[in-house]
Chain A
Amino acid sequence: MTFTAPAFLPFLVAVLGAAALVGARRRWAVLLLASYGLYAGFGAAPLLLALAAVTGVSFGCALIVETRPDGAARNWILRAGVAGCLGVLVLGKLGAGAGLAAVGVSYFTLQAMAYLFDVRDRVVPAERHLGLYALYLAFFPKLVQGPIERAEALLPQLRAMPRLAPADLAHGGQLFLWGLFQKLVVADRLAPMVDAVYGAPAGKQGTAVVIATYLFAAQLYLDFSGYTDMALGIARMFGLRLTQNFRAPYAATSVADFWRRWHISFSSFLLDYVFRPLQLDLRDLRTLGTPLALLATFLVSGLWHGAAWSFVVWGLLHGVFLATSALTRPWRTRWQRRLGVLGKPPYALFQRVVTFHLVCLGWVFFRAATPAEAARLVGRALSGLPGTLARVARGEDLDALVFLGQVRGACAFALGMLVLAALLRPAVARWVDGTPEVGPSRVFGRPVVLAVLVYLVVFLGATAQSFVYQQF
């Protein structure tokens, strides 16, 4: 059951009610039961077994790792635990490739592995309460699609189990509503336009491919960011704070900056547990060490998204961008200083535009069915752009070249909602951060915006499609 399912709201109300009734001490049990219950709703018994197995293995291994003074023994136990988690992850990926349900496996296995490393490195103590640890891995707001929570961030909150507070309930509810808006009213309304090109790519060229790719960039972001905001909102209702996963990613001025803003919980996991150890291992290669570590890290990132060549190419593409950036940094910095553009707003804008297009190039491979199809689309987008732009300028064939074969009114509505989302995002961020309300416009602006969001979600939201990142 996803957050957009009609049954989810009664489920959430019931869990909140039960959590309020049992009090803080036993709330972990209610949340754990709810989390396993929700996971069982995906209808695949092996998933529950996998979650329970990863929980048991990582919980046990961490306790042993912590008590062993001998470094070699600790490493062997750690490797055994990580291998167990990786085994479940690989089985999950292969199962997903064969059409089996593997919802959430990528997320809880990563958390379990990170926890084992953290216990070994004494970043966190091993958790001694199996129930709390199980809840840390399975907490239902972030179980299916993240954020990938670090033990040091979430476990202390679960141990302390904060009181349920009306302010948290209100802020969490607003964040949840905002997430629903992003998902149902914007992302799912953009999806048919994207699918019109990527679902039937034959003959699509020039502006059609470019527009569909821009729209896919928006759809993917709002789909994932919408889910994350819903997850953060639900956790907030219980007084718990989850990791923020996005920070205006398309405003990034470099691909490295993009990865500091996109799927932050995952990219920081890659940075800490894959890239840095690799960089250390490859330090003897001097200037080549970091680029090679980046390539390997983003190969892992691609494979984490799925056992398909599209994701491998997408990961490697980002690895190449970052490796090239690392290799050319001294040269680029020198030229930027010479030209006097470093830190200047027009140059930052130029960097943003270039970065956005590099990321979009990656999204073509991410979205297309195969790398070959993606390469053909990129080729046709570039070769067909001058001709199709000229036809658009003459007002010819706009339905195919601009509106992607969709009803113009539906396109206008989707794009209007995209603009509305961009305009409202700063205000929503302020509310959720708890910025004090001052002045009549802020006090009375919020009810108006919330009512508009409620109306749009309830009456004009698309029939929910599954979340894009749920498949990973």
Chain B
Amino acid sequence: MRTWSRRLAQLLLFAATLEVAARVDDALTHGASPWSRHGAEVLRFVDGEGIVRNVPGARFEKWRINALGFRGPEVAREPRPGVPRVVCLGQSESFGLYESPGEEWPAQLSRLLQPTHPGLEVINASVVGTGRSTRRAYVERSLLPLRPDVLVLLPSPFNEATETVRPAPPPRPGPAGQPPVLRAPPKLKLRLIGALPAALVERFRAAANARTLRKLEASELHGEPPLDRIPDQAVADHERHLREMVALLRARGVRPVLATYPTLVHPENLGALSHVLDAERIYRVWFSARGLIDAGERLNAATRRVAAGLHVPLADLDAAVPRDRTHFADDVHYTDAGAHVVAEVVAAALAAEVPGATASRSPP
């Protein structure tokens, strides 16, 4: 065999072995099939009615979906007699992204409430990337049958405002039918990024996000400037939706708790952290950085108005979570410490709703 062809064969064999090793590792560590696609997309699917849901029993890296399609430990469909059940409904910030396994805020909330309510069930029903358009259907079909005592609703102002400005994006297909992709290269890339100094990675990401944003602005906005202020219609839509949700829950005997949406970037730190918002704007290019901040401020204000007007307990997370990198991993996702503060504030708001619930406060 000639030297160059032997070297090429060796290189291919080396790469193939890395790929096999990655698949064996995933199978042994995460129970993933070596043959099918294995990425974060295995966690979600779009059902026949266009509702985005978690895939029951799915596993990917640190994420585990239970048999009912919720992140966290297995729960029975029927609540146990005398044991309160709390359902938490948010998006990726509540599903949990950067936190250590078991440190997403609903899991921490469950631990905080155990001393006062042994056995109390907290179900994390959050689904990544969802919004107003499918929330009611999801609650009616998937959450109300669980007969919760309390439902904590934490809507993302960014998703809500986007749905007013642009119709909901077409549902993404689930993993079924998608061609398998290589697993070793993305793993290597992630490990390489993890080995680099965090400041350097952040600079690279900021530059890459800025480039992506420029391209998206050119293709999506067609020369129009992004919005610095969300339309009043978005506020009205959000407020109306919350009132409907509260009415629906109360009609079905579920006590609602509303929560405002905390973010890292606000007008006072926008200068220093504008690159953090670039990452968020990639998904919402129609809004400028100021537009996103406006969405947060005005929709949170609307949430407070609805809570006050309808006498719904409010977890004012926007006011409670400190705006720093100790509590936020990016603009909207929490660190373990940030999730702890969220859990504490929600636990305090739940006090009146779950009889006898008093959270033991401890430092994050």
Q: Which residues of A contact B (CB under 8 A)?
A: 6, 443-444, 446-448, 450-452, 454-456, 458-460
Contact = CB atoms under 8 A, between A and B. Distances in A.
A443 B14 CA distance: 12
B10 A446 contact: yes
B207 interface: no
Interface stretch (B15-23, B278-286, B326-334): B15-23
B191 A448 contact: no
Given A451-B15, A458-B188, A444 B21 contact: no
A256 B15 CA distance: 45
B7 to A, nearest CB: 10
Nearest to A451: B17
15 contacts: A443-B6, A444-B10, A447-B10, A450-B14, A451-B13, A451-B15, A451-B16, A451-B18, A451-B21, A452-B17, A455-B21, A455-B184, A456-B21, A458-B188, A459-B25
Interface of B: 6, 9-11, 13-18, 21-22, 25, 184, 187-188, 191, 195-196
B25 A460 contact: yes
Contact of A447 (B17, B25, B184, B196): B17
Nearest to A458: B191
Contacts of A450: 14
Nearest 6 CB-CB pairings of A with B? A451-B17, A455-B21, A447-B14, A6-B195, A447-B13, A447-B10
A176 to B, nearest CB: 16
B6 A448 contact: no
**Counting chain A CB atoms within 10 Å of each CB, which of B18, B25, B188, B196 scores highest?**
B18
A50 B337 CA distance: 45
Contact of B191 (A443, A446, A459): A459
Given A455-B22, A455-B25, A448 B17 contact: yes
B6 A455 contact: no
Contacts of A6: 195-196
A459 B187 contact: yes
Contacts of B15: 451
A458 B11 CA distance: 18
B340 to A, nearest CB: 24
Contacts, number: 41
Nearest to A449: B17
B11 A447 contact: yes
Nearest to B21: A455
Given A443-B10, A447-B11, 4 more contacts: A448-B14, A451-B17, A455-B18, A460-B25
A9 to B, nearest CB: 8
B141 to A, nearest CB: 39
A170 B227 CA distance: 56
A174 to B, nearest CB: 12
B323 to A, nearest CB: 30
Contacts of B22: 455, 459
Contacts of B6: 443
Contacts of B18: 451, 454-455
Contacts of B191: 458-459
Nearest to A6: B195
B48 to A, nearest CB: 38
B21 to A, nearest CB: 4
Contacts of A444: 9-10, 13
B13 A448 contact: yes
A444 B5 CA distance: 12
B35 to A, nearest CB: 19
A444 to B, nearest CB: 6
Contacts of A446: 10
Nearest to B187: A459
Given A6-B195, A443-B6, A444-B9, A451 B14 contact: yes
Nearest to B190: A459
A443 B184 CA distance: 23
B332 to A, nearest CB: 29
Nearest to B19: A451
B149 to A, nearest CB: 37
Nearest to A5: B195
Contacts of A459: 22, 25, 187, 191
A127 B9 CA distance: 48
A455 B22 CA distance: 8
A458 B10 CA distance: 20
Nearest to B194: A6
Chain B CB within 10 Å, residue with most, of A6, A446, A450, A458: A458
A454 to B, nearest CB: 7
A6 B195 CA distance: 6
A452 B21 contact: yes
Contacts of A458: 188, 191
Contacts of A443: 6, 10
Contacts of A460: 25
B18 to A, nearest CB: 5
Contacts of A447: 10-11, 13-14, 17
A456 B9 CA distance: 22
A255 B184 CA distance: 46
B31 to A, nearest CB: 13
A454 B13 CA distance: 13
Interface-central residue, A444, A450, A452, A459, by most chain B CB under 10 Å: A459
Nearest to A437: B6
A445 to B, nearest CB: 9
A346 B14 CA distance: 41
A452 B11 CA distance: 13
Nearest to A445: B13
A448 B9 CA distance: 11
A443 B25 CA distance: 25
B140 to A, nearest CB: 42
Nearest to B188: A458
A455 B184 CA distance: 9
